[in-house]
Amino acid sequence: MKHSHWLVMSASLLVVVACGAIVWTEGSQALAQTGTSKAKTKIGTSKTKTADSKELDLRAEKTLEGFVTDSIKLAEEYEKAGKFEEAQEQLRTIGKLKPEMPGLKEKIDKLNEAVFETNDFDVDLDVADSWKRQVQVSKGKPVRVEATGNYKLMLSGPVDANGVPTKDLLRDMASGVRCGALMGVVVPTSDSGSAAGGAGGGKTTGRGNDKAGEPFEIGANKEFTPKEDGVLHLNVNLPAGHKSTGKLRVHVSGHIKLLSKEPR
């Protein structure tokens, strides 16, 4: 009886061990398959992301090329219409996106010169007058001033050891500019309502608190780039009480706009 009982227990134990082995084997295979599946999924996702990134890059490149092509065509149309400043703006935009584009800078320079050749203004400047408003200028856009002719310089009045005063630009000479030279000042638009326009070189002019940019020498010719929007005023640098006579022929060109018809 005991022997039979022992055989039954032994057989049961073998069955349990065998079942455990089967479960372990199936579990290991399942884990292995799961790991492989996950590995395959990760690899597949990485490839998909790479493919999507390349596709986006291609789309971006095509979009950029399309924009550049359209901008070039628009610049050409502006040039044909004589709108050289607008054509330049289109090319400058291209330059920000593709600065290495060959011939771009040369084309912009050529259009800039076309602005000087086609957008100009002439005036006879009487040296007996004071500051006169001439043209409107824009911040960051170049202007060229050329002067021809000569005049008779006649000075009179007492001068002490301090020399000619430079305190009040509306009456006195401007400091840092040669005596008798043509000079200019850009008066900010908000301050340029009168003929003298508060042209005070950043100093009080004796007419309230009007202030303006610093006067600069022009001489026979000068190209400059305004640091602010405003109105260009011109004058010759002579002291108060001078008796000079004559006129200078002044040619102003570039990125300018004529003022409304009123006394300059």
DSSP 221-261: EEEE--SSSEEEEEEE---TT---B-EEEEEEEESEEEPPS
**pLDDT tens string 163-175:** 888 877 777 788 8
**pLDDT tens string 95-108:** 998 888 899 899 98
Q: Give domain 119-258's CATH architecture.
A: Sandwich (2.60)
- Which residues, 6 or more positions from 228, have their beta carbon under 8 angstroms from its beta carbon? 139, 186, 188, 213
Query: Which pLDDT does position 172 carry in this prediction?
Result: 79
- DSSP label of 152: B
> Which residues is 137 bridged to in the sheet?
230, 256
Q: Are 84 and 115 within 8 A, CB to CB?
A: yes
User: In angstroms, rounded to a whole number, what is the distance separating the alpha carbons of residues 133 and 252?
Assistant: 12
Please tell me whether residue 125 adopts helix, strand or coil conformation: strand
**pLDDT tens string 9-27:** 554 544 444 454 444 455 4
Helix, strand, coil percentages, rounded to 5, for the chain = 40, 20, 40
Which tokens go with 192?
């340029």
Query: Which pLDDT does position 206 carry in this prediction?
Result: 34
Query: Which pLDDT does position 226 carry in this prediction?
Result: 94
Terminal C-alpha separation, the chain: 136
pTM over 0.75: no
User: In angstroms, rounded to a whole number, what is the distance separating the alpha carbons of residues 256 and 260?
Assistant: 13
Domain boundaries, the chain: 2-115, 119-258
Low-confidence ranges of the chain (pLDDT < 70): 1-47, 191-212, 261-264
Query: Which pLDDT does position 193 carry in this prediction?
Result: 47
